[in-house]
Amino acid sequence: MQKKIIYSALILLAILLQLSFLPALAGKNLPGDAVLMLVLAMAVLDGFALALNWAIVAGILVDFATYGTLGEHVIVFLLVIYVVSFFSRRLSVEVKGTGRLLFFLFVAAASLISNGLLLTFLFLENKLVKSQLQFFSSSKGFLLQIICNTVLFFLWYQVVKKIKKVV
């Protein structure tokens, strides 16, 4: 029960970071995805089965908070954690040596999948804004997002790892 309360608070904190703090630092173009990286850290540490429910909850809350179509972020989060957990369970993943490179590749893949799916949803809804397409299609913008997501991922990874030890 205590773990559920802590994870719920972490998801709310990540949503607040993503919607208020990070845009204040970076301006209009959001460089990182705090909620996706939290869900990704949960999936790497807890596995797909345990992270599944948290991904659904986080996706629904993000959709409510952003006034988006209900379910878009759920689909993005589920696909990302499925792909990453598939590879993380088959590879020896530790935050040492080549494990850091694997985590970087996981974050890059998660960012690519997330951006691709969200742009597809926007295109299907005819809400594609030219500035969004330019930001995500530019190599500088995408590289900045991967770097920010990597920092966010390692931050959430350490937080979730410490919570798992305590609870």
pTM above 0.75, yes or no: yes
Alpha carbons 27 and 69: distance in angstroms, whole number? 24
Residue in the block written with tokens 């935050």 = 95
Q: Which amino acid is at 46?
A: D
Domain of 88 in residue numbering reads as 2-166
Q: pLDDT digit string (tens) for 108-137?
A: 878 777 777 777 777 666 665 555 555 555
Residue partners of 16: CB distance under 8 A and separation at least 6: none
> Rounded to whole angstroms, what are the CA distances from 2 to 31, 60, 62, 141?
32, 22, 23, 39
The pLDDT score that the predictor gives to residue 39 is: 93
- For residues 100 and 4, which has the higher predicted lDDT (pLDDT)? 4
Mean pLDDT of all residues belonging to the chain: 80
Mean pLDDT: which of 22-26, 56-60, 74-78 is highest? 56-60
- The helix/strand/coil state of 32 is coil
Q: What share of the chain is helix, strand, coil (3-state, %, to 5)?
A: 85, 0, 15
C-alpha span between 79 and 76 (Å, rounded):
5
Average pLDDT of 152-157?
Answer: 90
Mean pLDDT of 100-113: 76
Burial letters 25-44, b for 16+ CB under 10 A, else e: eeeeebbbbbbbbbbbbbbb
Taking 80 as the threshold, does the pLDDT of residue 87 lie above it? no
Q: Count how many domains the chain has.
A: 1
**Picking from 37-51, 60-74, 136-150, which range would have the lowest pLDDT averaged per residue?**
136-150
**96 has a pLDDT exceeding 70:** no
Res 10: pLDDT = 95
Q: For residue range 15-36, list pLDDT tens digits in order.
A: 999 888 877 776 666 667 889 8
Map tokens 């990874």 to a residue: 157
Segment 35-49 shows an average pLDDT of: 89
